[in-house]
Structures are given as structure tokens and as C-alpha cells.
Amino acid sequence: MKEALVSKGPQVEITNTPIPSLPSPDHILIRVVVTGTNPKDWKLPDLFRQDARTNQGDDIAGVVHTVGANVFEFKPGDRVAAFHEMRTPHGSYAEYAVAWQHTTFHIPNNISFEEAAALPLAAMTSAVGLYNRLRLPQPWSPEVSKEKVTDIPLLIYGASSAVGIYGLQFALRSNIHPLICVAGSSKDYVASFIDASKGDVVVDYRDGPEATVEGVKKALGGRELKHVLDAVSLQDSIDNIANVLSTDGGHVTFVLGGEKKGLAEGQEHSITMVGDVHGNHKDLGYVYFRYIARGLAEGWFKPQRVEVVPGGLGGIQKALEDLKEGRASGVKYVMRIEETEGLVKGDR
């Protein structure tokens, strides 16, 4: 099969490799129809084993080919999306990929493979951030009511990013308001999700740090800010958050690791690690992927907008370069594997 390997740069090389076998009885082998991309796909080669070439793809959308002996929800021919375990072999940058059954979910009939490929890693990151790190009320919690707002101000920094837009939708499902969403050129896209009548606002960071801070404070209306999902996690966002987050137990969760400078005493922080659903938080991954599938089918959870990068596996180079240069705004880059040069029709 064809497989794309990524190294520092990013540099992408397409190779011929054997179709993988199942690593365990709990794995699924999936024929990849569309692969998604994530910023980590170019970042990790720069951070770990810089000279290594690895298949960095973790967002799978395709058709079940083979299932392990312990797999009970899926069968060959099923349309599925899956979150491949990061930094392990046989990712989505290939004709075939493997995934654990608990991080695989059925694609509803109203969702395309392209849309599905935009979901797994980012959607689960937002779920881990909101409900594990920030400990916000889950949509089915007793304190959540459709009739009464869950009065918890929530700041989502980078709301038009995939993690941000999925976090926004989960928060809406938990009826959390006001939602204070920081965005830029895609602010109108973010605004289409929120409810101004419940105090939700979009603050445009392009107006500068002082205006951003003042916009957040105005939306708070004198209330303390105790919960922040930072989907940007760079120094500019940290500085602005530090100026609005409560010093009495305020908690910001970041999607990127590393040292966090500028937070004051009493401002707590955590790192949202989506890989936890392949570790200590398997139950959370299992439940929320199925909840996402239900939300997609019912229409209250929507995929991030996608941009199809032409060339199949050959398009990964451009996609990762564009991600590195920050050209993606309110979109996910995806590639259709069948467009890969050199594939023989009928082999798949």
C-alpha cells in the first residue's frame, strides 16, 4: 500500500509498505477514504526523534476492512471514523490504518467521509478539555437543564479552530452561558453558533490585546471568570487570559504543553492531552465518540468546515506547510486517498 511518512521540516515522503495486521484483538483495520490533518502532524517531528520518518496521521474516515476478535460494535463494510493512537504505527496517512475499537465510531448517513475526517482528534480534545480538565457539567448531568441556563461564564480562546468550534458546541449542549469566544477572521462563523440573548459574544483579537481584554470583561459583566479553554495556547493568548482569569481558583486548560509564563498566583492551569483516551481515560473516549455520532445524526453537533487538499497522500506536504504557516482559519485540511498518484483502481 501507499503510505506517507513525515519528518522534520515538514518533509513528506510517500513509500510502499505492507498492509498492516491487527496489533491486538481490540483493533480495527480501516481502509482509509479520507484523512484529516492536525497541527501536531508537523510539530511532533520537530520535537521528537527529529530524523525519524513516521506516519503522523490520526484522523481516519473510511470503511472497516477487518476487525479483531474482541470487536463487538463494528463489522467489515461499516462507514467509520476513528482517532488513531498518536505516535504509534499505522496512522491515517496511508491506504489502510488501524484504530482501537473504543476510539472508533459509526459515521451517520448524513455525514460525508470528508466531514468525518475533520472530527476525531479535535472533537475529543475539546471533550477532554471541558469535561475532564475544567470539570464542567456534562450534557446529561442533573444540573443541566434545557429550560434553565447553566450560568457558568466560559472563555474559549481560538473559537474558530477545530478544538474551539467543537468545544463551543459541547458547551452549548451543556447549556453553558455566557460563552465568550475569541476569534479573528472567522468570527462570523463562530457567531453563527452562539446565542446573544444568553450573553454569548465574539471578541475579535485583531483589535489588539487591550481591546480583547476589555471585550472579555464587558461580556463578564462583573462576574468572575473561572473556566477557560485555550485552543491557541501561545504567549499572546496566555497574556490576555491572565488579565481576565480569576485569581481565586480560575482554571485555564491549554492544548499545548510547555512552560506557561505570565499566570498569576491563584490562576490554575492544566494541559489537555487527548492521548489520555488511549490511556487512563478510555471510558471518556468511548462514551464521547458515541455521543458525537449521535449529535451528528441529530444535527446538534456539526463538523468543522473542511478544505479538500488535492493529490491524496501527495497533498499532505502542502497541507502541513499551510498549517505551519498559519493559513488555516476556521477550516480543516483533508485529503481523499483515492487521489494519490500511482494508486491502481480496484486494488482498494
Residue-wise pLDDT for 271-300, tens only, equals 999 999 999 999 999 999 999 999 999 999
The pLDDT assigned to 172 comes to 97
Whole-prediction pTM? 0.96
Residue ranges, the chain, pLDDT below 50: none
- 8-state DSSP, 130: I
Pairing state between β 306-308 and 27-36: unpaired
The pLDDT assigned to 329 comes to 85
The pLDDT assigned to 345 comes to 62
Of the candidates 163, 182, 4, 20, the one whose C-alpha atom is nearest the C-alpha of residue 90 is 20
Of the candidates 6, 8, 55, 10, the one whose C-alpha atom is nearest the C-alpha of residue 32 is 55
The pLDDT assigned to 115 comes to 98
- Residues 294 and 292: their CA atoms lie apart, in Å, by 5
Read off the amino acid at residue 5.
L
User: What's the grid cell of residue 157?
Assistant: 480562546
- 8-state DSSP, 275: G
User: What's the grid cell of residue 321?
Assistant: 506547510
The pLDDT assigned to 49 comes to 61
